[in-house]
Amino acid sequence: MPPRRFSGGLIRALLALIFAAGPASAPGADPIRDPLSGKQDPRQAATPSPQPPAPSEKRIRLLEAWRVPLASPLSGPLLPLEDRVVASVENGAVQAFSLAEGRLLWKAELGEKAAGGPVEIAGQVVQATASGRVVGLDATAGTTLWTAGLHQDVQRQIAADGDGILVPLAAGQVVFLDDRGQERWRVDLRGAPSSPATVCKDMVMVGTEAGTVEAFDRRSGRRLWLSRVGSPVRSPLLCSDGVVYFGTEDDRLRALKASGRKRWSYKVGGLIRATPFALNRRVYFLSYDNYVYVVKARSGNLIQRVRMSHRLSDDALQDPGRLYLSPYTSARLTVLTLPELQLIGEYGLDLDGEWFTTPPVKAGERLLIGYGRYEGRILALKEEAEEAPAAASSPL
């Protein structure tokens, strides 16, 4: 029998069916799609399906060590020091507590609403008020060392820079104060600051509501460059290996070179307000769409994403081998392994209508976090390794 011949039309039809079907996905994988448009991310064909963090074989328990009331909601992040933790509350009180048992060491009353949390420079605790007053306190005794009046409302969290303080003002300025409260320089921005100022080597950088990232010389305040990113900056800036990473109003994580030139951006399904962090040539970031994302630092290609129970807005705490985070309104502090993002432990607040209001911080053996929407409190936790369940004995 002569060999059967197929028409060119039939062959073309079969090939069309094969290519229309596309490559088969690996088991447990699906294409990454833009959470808003549903379009597939062209940079990454497939990745493991988003799932809650898988449990780790090694587990820890988080146990309460102590908690203290503060009478007013916390105004910003806690400040961990060598043997104490310092907290500021909205009514203007700054208080220091011992790490060991939460004993009150000192309390300073500023007399007006606090702006953000305290920072530390040269043995001092520095706190800003909403009206533009910056106060330096002795870290040991809490006594006032100096006061600087900036005559403008403070817009964002102040930042420490070794021997100075960077203060973002609502009028669209950044002021640099030395460790005695003396003004070194003041610069104008293209818009109101929308992120704290960040130091990157010899540069000070800040994001604005006008959709710019602006860089200045750290010593003189001389403008170095301005990058228009097209959307208001919404997260603090991360400077790592000559690249600047940050989230913007249009739900993107963006990367700029240290020269201000645009490098890449990655679209997600919610705002990015928490500070990104870098590890092993990867960038980790948290989003309002409930996901922890991991992308390649060089290209922005997606490596992994893990879905949490609630929106992610506060900064996470990166500790060697671990990531501590508290999803917004979840009243839960979750611990994941790094770099795998596996669940290793969790602590539930178990108070109706309350949730954590500050990012977690660590000092010595204590893990510290604030909570309380109406009356602020500090919760100190200690970690213990969870014993592995005993292996079942086999019947004789």
Contact, 71 vs 81, CB < 8 A?
A: no
The answer, yes or no, to whether residue 128 has pLDDT greater than 60, is yes
Number of separate domains in the chain? 2
- Strand ranges across the sheet with 114-121: 114-121, 124-129, 133-138, 144-149
Q: What is the pLDDT of residues 108-126, one digit of tens each?
A: 999 999 999 999 998 999 9
Closest to 46 in 3D by CA, of 65, 27, 67: 27
- pLDDT, mean over the chain: 87
pLDDT tens column, 219-253: 999 999 999 999 999 999 999 999 999 999 999 99
Q: Which of 38-42, 115-119, 126-130, 344-348 is predicted with the least confidence, judged by mean pLDDT?
A: 38-42
What's 139's DSSP letter? T
Q: Global pTM?
A: 0.84
Residue 376 inside a domain? The answer is yes
User: Predicted confidence band at 30 (pLDDT cuts at 50, 70, 90)?
Assistant: very low
Residue 379 identity (one-letter amino acid): L
Count the Cβ atoms, other than its own, within 10 Å of residue 249. 16
Residue 27: is its pLDDT beyond 60? no
In-domain check, residue 34: no
Distance between alpha carbon 277 and the CA centroid of its chain, in Å? 7
Confidence grade of residue 163 (pLDDT, cut at 50, 70, 90): confident
Contact 123, 139 (CB under 8 A): yes
Q: Could you tell me the CA-to-CA distances from 372 to 157, 225, 335, 348 in Å, in that order?
A: 20, 41, 21, 14
Task: Give the number of other Cβ atoms within 10 Å of residue 282's Cβ.
Answer: 17
> Which residues have CB under 8 Å from 363's CB, separation 6+?
80, 81, 82, 84, 85, 99
With a cut of 80, say whether residue 21 has pLDDT above it. Answer: no
CA atoms lying within 13 Å on the CB side of residue 78: 29
Length of the chain measured in residues: 396
Helices (H), the chain: 8-21
pLDDT band of residue 392 (cuts 50, 70, 90) is: low
Last residue of one domain, picked from the residues 168, 186, 204:
186
pLDDT-derived band at 328, boundaries 50, 70, 90: confident
Q: Per-residue pLDDT for 76 more than 90?
A: yes
Residue 107 lies in a domain: yes
Q: Does residue 352 fall inside a structural domain?
A: yes
Is 123 within the bounds of a domain? yes
Termini Cα distance of the chain: 69
297: buried, middle or exposed (CB in 10 Å: 19+, 13-18, 0-12)?
Answer: buried
- pLDDT interval class at 9 (50, 70, 90): low
Within a domain: residue 327?
A: yes
Cβ-proximal residues to 351 (8 Å cutoff; 6+ apart), any chain: 331, 371
Decide which of 21 and 182 is more confident.
182
Structural domain span for residue 138: 73-186
pLDDT score recorded for residue 388: 62
What integer pLDDT is reported at residue 351 of this predicted model?
80
Phi-psi region at 287: left, alpha or beta (left = phi > 0; alpha = psi -120 to 50): beta
What CA dihedral angle connects 314, 321, 65 and 351, to 10 degrees?
A: 40
Compute the CA torsion angle 89, 92, 96, 97 (nearest 10 deg): -40
Longest CA–CA span in the chain (Å) reads 104
Residue 20 lies in a domain: no
Tell me which of 146, 165, 186 is where a domain ends.
Answer: 186
User: ω into residue 3 within 30 of 0, thus cis?
Assistant: no
Identify the CATH number of the domain in which residue 144 sits: 2.40.128.630
pLDDT at 37 over 60: no
Q: Report the pLDDT value the prediction gives residue 36, as an integer from 0 to 100.
A: 35
Considering the domain boundaries, does residue 208 fall inside one?
A: no
User: What's the mean pLDDT in 15-32?
Assistant: 36
Interval 192-215: pLDDT, tens? 999 999 999 899 999 999 999 999
Residue reference for tokens 């590890």:
279
| Residue 391 pLDDT level (bands cut at 50, 70, 90) | low
For the four alpha carbons of 124, 114, 197 and 184, in that order, the dihedral sign comes to negative
In contact, 214 and 205? CB cutoff 8 Å:
yes
Q: What is the pLDDT of residue 309?
A: 86
